[in-house]
């Protein structure tokens, strides 16, 4: 149950007469309403309020069912309209009958200075008027009294996103009227204003409002709908007891709502936080135990270097003049590029197990930008089917998504240089959501694809390492490093060379498999949360 649901439940109990016990010594509500009717007749006689054309009187018939007499018409049973039974000492009444007046506000432009302050819908926040920001308006002196706000007036928003919201005026620090999109209701001081306000927060009120709201682009409700609402009226003393009880419990309801919202928020973010924690533990060598029988990562990296040299010899990739080699010496990390050798301890984000190795991303992968030449595809090159042409919108949860991808013709594809995909390629976004990386997985129909100019292909030299590398890319430490390399403010950009230079922790091949298996097992329950 949410905080709002709990509040609704308590308010429903209140307006049904189930929140506090009835006292047989209380004066019945029928007597109270008779006095209010007499008071209203006197105000009409004095010309202070207008007479209703067809006043409503609701009463219990001999069969104990509710009946309503409107004007001179014969009484009609309204059992189908009355939503629930109320205690014997309570009475049903229409809001319009209960009210001395239901009046629309004054229409005038808001001004920094003027004759009098004018409260608007926007000035009412969290059930309070922000008096310091209420503007002024000009109004003729003879019209002020009709719109003047007084303590215990209830304001009602009749249009817009806040339609139906109400506000009980408890104090008016300086003379003020109310604007045209508000309705003011005024009633006998024999009624408890806080009880009426709580009624206007109950589901009984809101359900009647929804039925009478005019459904347009700008939802609105009029005084007729408000006046026609059924209101359950308890005896005077019970009204006070209900308000006292509600005032006492609402602080706890608010606290409950805050805790409930916080709990839901934590539940929503927990899976992602746990996932990040697991991935971070994984790349630090803390998720699974090390096995001294595992072939060290250094041996794996030697095989990758040999593979890279073979590709260079075959002319498939270019030789890096400043190939990086990272090693430990005297309990510190050093990097050798060509003849230069420097300590990189300040750059190392965390320590690794003895049989792991730090490497630059460029040591274990080939990096390829998209084609940015004059042959880059334009709108006229798109076809209904052909070679997938991937953009940022085509990055799915883990893999590139084919559902809404654009296509270029095969002949156009042949004309292009860089940016052609192979199975298992990682695709990294260099602009916008920078660093976001997904895997291209070929299908039976599409064995290749092409990346847009804002993307980078990362091709692992060992496909067996693909899933582990993808794990690294999603680990918090990696994302932090990427964030530090971003340039630009209006448009965030990540230089491809900076990606290639990022540090990657490499475990033994056997441990990589154990890590991936453990991650899969650990994250599986999160999919059901």
Question: Where exactly are the structural domains of the chain?
Answer: 3-239, 297-517
- Maximum Cα–Cα distance across the chain: 108
Q: Quick one: average pLDDT of 348-368? A: 94
DSSP letter at 295 equals P
Local confidence band at 330 (pLDDT 50, 70, 90 cut-offs): confident
pLDDT tens digits, 156-179: 998 877 888 899 998 899 999 999
Q: Quick one: average pLDDT of 216-236? A: 84
**pLDDT score for 249:** 93
CA 289 to CA 286: how far, in whole Å? 7
CATH, domain range 297-517: 3.90.220.20
CATH of region 3-239, choose from 3.40.50.300, 3.90.260.10, 1.10.10.1100, 3.90.220.20: 3.90.220.20
**pLDDT score for 213:** 67
**Would the CATH topology of 3-239 be identical to that of 297-517?**
yes
**pLDDT score for 136:** 94
Local confidence band at 478 (pLDDT 50, 70, 90 cut-offs): very high
Local confidence band at 229 (pLDDT 50, 70, 90 cut-offs): very high
pLDDT tops 70 at residue 132 = yes
426-429/455-460 β-pairing: antiparallel
Kindly state the percentage of the chain with pLDDT values over 70: 98
**pLDDT score for 218:** 60
pLDDT tens digits, 2-42: 888 999 999 999 999 999 999 999 999 999 999 999 999 99
**pLDDT score for 8:** 92
Local confidence band at 526 (pLDDT 50, 70, 90 cut-offs): low
Local confidence band at 460 (pLDDT 50, 70, 90 cut-offs): very high
pLDDT tops 90 at residue 1 = no
Q: What tokens does 491 get? A: 């448009």
Name which residue leads in pLDDT, 256 or 414.
Answer: 414
**pLDDT score for 217:** 54
Average pLDDT score, the chain: 91
Q: Quick one: average pLDDT of 64-88? A: 92
Local confidence band at 272 (pLDDT 50, 70, 90 cut-offs): confident
pLDDT tops 80 at residue 103 = yes
Q: Which residues, 6+ apart, have CB-to-CB distance to 450 below 8 Å?
A: 370, 371, 377, 387, 388, 389, 390, 408, 413, 416, 419, 420, 421
φ/ψ of 92, rounded to 5, equals -90, 145
Local confidence band at 214 (pLDDT 50, 70, 90 cut-offs): low
**pLDDT score for 525:** 72
CA 408 to CA 30: how far, in whole Å? 80
pLDDT tops 70 at residue 75 = yes
φ/ψ of 50, rounded to 5, equals -85, 150
pLDDT tops 60 at residue 373 = yes
Distances (CA, A) of 293 to 356, 508, 511: 13, 10, 10
**pLDDT score for 83:** 93
Q: Which of 312-326, 367-381, 489-503 has the lowest mean pLDDT?
A: 312-326
pLDDT tops 70 at residue 529 = no
Q: Which residues, 6+ apart, have CB-to-CB distance to 527 below 8 Å?
A: none
Distances (CA, A) of 382 to 354, 405, 414, 518: 52, 11, 14, 43
3-state secondary structure 389-410: EECHHHECCCEECCCCCEEECH
Strand partners, 408: 382, 387
**pLDDT score for 58:** 93
């Amino acid at each position: 149950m949410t905080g709002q649901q709990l509040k609704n439940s308590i308010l429903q109990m209140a307006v049904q007469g189930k929140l506090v016990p009835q006292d047989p010594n209380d004066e019945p509500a029928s007597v109270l309403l008779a006095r209010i009717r007499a008071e209203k007749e006197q105000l009409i006689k004095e010309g202070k309020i207008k007479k209703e054309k067809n006043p409503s009187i609701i009463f219990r018939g001999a069969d104990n069912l509710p009946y309503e007499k409107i004007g001179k018409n014969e009484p009609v049973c309204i059992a189908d309209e009355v939503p629930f039974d109320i205690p014997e000492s309570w009475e049903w009444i229409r809001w319009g009958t209960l009210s001395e007046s239901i009046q629309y506000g004054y229409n005038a432009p808001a001004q920094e200075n003027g004759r009098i302050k004018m409260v608007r819908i926007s000035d009412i926040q969290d059930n309070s008027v922000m008096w310091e920001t209420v503007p002024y308006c000009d109004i003729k002196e003879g019209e002020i009294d009709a719109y003047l706000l007084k303590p215990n007036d209830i304001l009602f928003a009749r249009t817009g996103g806040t339609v139906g919201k109400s506000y009980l005026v408890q104090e008016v620090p300086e003379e003020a009227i109310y604007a045209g999109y508000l309705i003011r209701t005024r009633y006998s001081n024999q009624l408890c204003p806080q009880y009426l306000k709580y009624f206007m927060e109950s589901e009984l009120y809101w359900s009647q409002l929804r039925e009478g709201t005019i459904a347009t682009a700008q939802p609105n409700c009029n005084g007729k709908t408000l006046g026609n609402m059924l209101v359950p009226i308890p005896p005077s003393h019970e009204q006070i007891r209900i308000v006292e009880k509600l005032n006492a419990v609402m602080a706890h309801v608010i606290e409950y709502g805050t805790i409930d919202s916080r709990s839901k928020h934590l539940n929503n973010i927990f899976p992602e936080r746990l996932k990040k924690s697991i991935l971070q533990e994984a790349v630090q060598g803390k998720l699974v135990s090390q096995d001294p029988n595992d072939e060290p990562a250094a041996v794996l990296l030697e095989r990758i270097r040999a593979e890279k040299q073979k590709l260079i010899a075959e002319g498939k990739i270019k030789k890096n003049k400043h190939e990086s080699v990272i090693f430990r010496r005297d309990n510190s990390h050093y990097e050798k590029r060509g003849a230069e050798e420097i300590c990189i301890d300040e750059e190392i984000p965390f320590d690794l197990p003895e049989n792991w190795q730090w490497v630059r991303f460029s040591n274990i992968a080939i990096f390829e930008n998209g084609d940015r030449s004059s042959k880059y595809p334009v709108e006229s090159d798109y076809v209904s089917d052909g070679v997938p042409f991937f953009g940022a919108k085509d990055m799915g949860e883990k893999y590139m998504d084919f559902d809404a991808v654009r296509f270029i013709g095969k002949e156009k594809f042949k004309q292009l240089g860089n940016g052609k995909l192979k199975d298992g390629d990682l695709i990294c976004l260099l602009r916008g959501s920078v660093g976001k990386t997904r895997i291209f997985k070929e299908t039976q129909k599409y064995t290749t694809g092409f990346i847009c100019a804002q993307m980078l292909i990362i091709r692992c030299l060992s496909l067996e390492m693909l899933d582990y590398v993808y794990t690294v890319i999603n680990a918090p430490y990696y994302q932090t490093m990427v964030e530090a390399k971003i340039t630009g403010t209006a448009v965030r950009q990540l230089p491809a060379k900076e990606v290639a230079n990022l540090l990657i922790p490499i475990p033994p091949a056997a441990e990589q498999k154990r890590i991936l298996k453990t991650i899969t097992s650990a994250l599986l329950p999160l999919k059901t949360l």
